[in-house]
Chains A and B, each alone.
Chain A
Amino acid sequence: MASHSHHSDEGEYSGDIPAPQTKGIWRVFLILCVLTAIEFAFAFLMDPSTLRNSIFIVLTLFKAFFIVGEFMHLKHETKSLIWSVLIPTALLVWLLIALITEGTYFGDSVYNYLK
């Protein structure tokens, strides 16, 4: 964030307005569109399988990387902020995998108990 001195005059900012720097933003937009298009291509051209699901998840993670890294600017924050966000998320991914694999057993137990 550029620090600007406080202006006492009401309303309008009187300084010069620099030209927009939007090339990178539209590049990320293009990447997100292409990744989504690839996902659709796989959805229609490939039969459902664990491999196809893995492809979806990998492409989704790529999309997430661009949204969080570029749009949310996390890539350009300090290392401590990056890790403060990434470490809990990484633990969360571990939790998700554990819950879904072990959860099948857990789900069975609850289901059989309620039967």
Chain B
Amino acid sequence: MSSTTSSSTTLDRPKTGTWDGGNEPMKASYGKLMMWFFLLSDTFTFAAFLTTYGLIRHRHLAYIGAHDKFVFSNDYWPIPDKVFNAFPFFHGIDLPLAFVALMTMILILSSVTMVLAVEAGHRMDKKDVEKWLLWTILFGSTFLGCQAWEWTHFITGTEAGLTLYDGSKIFGANLTVNQYGPPLFADLFFFITGFHGTHVFSGIVLLIIMFIMAVNGAFQKRGHYEMVEKVGLYWHFVDLVWVFVFTFFYLV
């Protein structure tokens, strides 16, 4: 260290410079900052998944030909709206991407109720925070339920299945066999939506903890609802990731 005028090793007065530790240079608390940097690192993970998807997809032939003549085959990458065209209680009806659209809307809606909870926290409105947290938990759980249904449908497969060259048939998909196309397509589906679903699940657990704390008045005693805000950041991030997963897995 540079020479100091004081021989004492303790500070005479607290440091107040921008980067001296005396204040918050980014005007965000330690916890909030760390949540941002955690989410940044999580972005890297999801980006790795989506890059892998792009890479593997490029390695496979694309389906060329009329859209309505499409049939499942291991020879080319499937068209997403031919794979994801089922809807609960509407068995056998071709509803391309309808269910995933509903899921997207539910998740975006949960993001809105989350930001409403954060806004209520700023106003120290305990009742409102509880209400909006409950809505967020409800929408989040509904999304997870939808995903469970979609996985079940994807794993079970359609009645037609896929007839292989030797005449044998396969139904649905797992990590090695896939009725809809190349096995890697199913692998990526399980890994990417599964990893996102895990995030949603963790988010719901955190939200439930927030709800219990809010009901117990922990934040009122503390004088602020910043913890709800930090969990909110995590929740919005899950929604953000879904926006990208939705585009690259279901639309492109």
Residue positions of A touching B, CB distance < 8 A = 1-7, 10-13, 15, 17-18, 20-22, 25-26, 28-29, 32-33, 36, 39-40, 43-44, 47-48, 53, 56-57, 59-60, 63-64, 67-68, 70-72, 77-78, 80-81, 84-85, 88-89, 92, 95-96, 99-100, 103-104, 106-108, 111
Contact = CB atoms under 8 A, between A and B. Distances in A.
Given A11-B217, A89-B43, A81 B36 contact: yes
B156 interface: no
The dominant DSSP class at the A interface is helix
B177 interface: no
Interface stretch (B52-60, B141-149, B193-201): B52-60
B124 interface: yes
Contacts of B101: 36, 40
A104 B58 CA distance: 7
A4 B111 CA distance: 26
Interface residues of B, number: 59
Contacts of A107: 55-56, 58-59
Contacts, number: 153
B161 to A, nearest CB: 25
A17 to B, nearest CB: 5
Contacts of B114: 71
A85 B108 CA distance: 22
17 contacts: A4-B124, A10-B217, A10-B221, A22-B116, A22-B119, A33-B105, A60-B247, A64-B240, A67-B111, A77-B28, A80-B25, A81-B27, A92-B47, A96-B51, A103-B55, A104-B55, A108-B59
B120 interface: yes
Interface string B125-157: 110100000000000000000000000000000
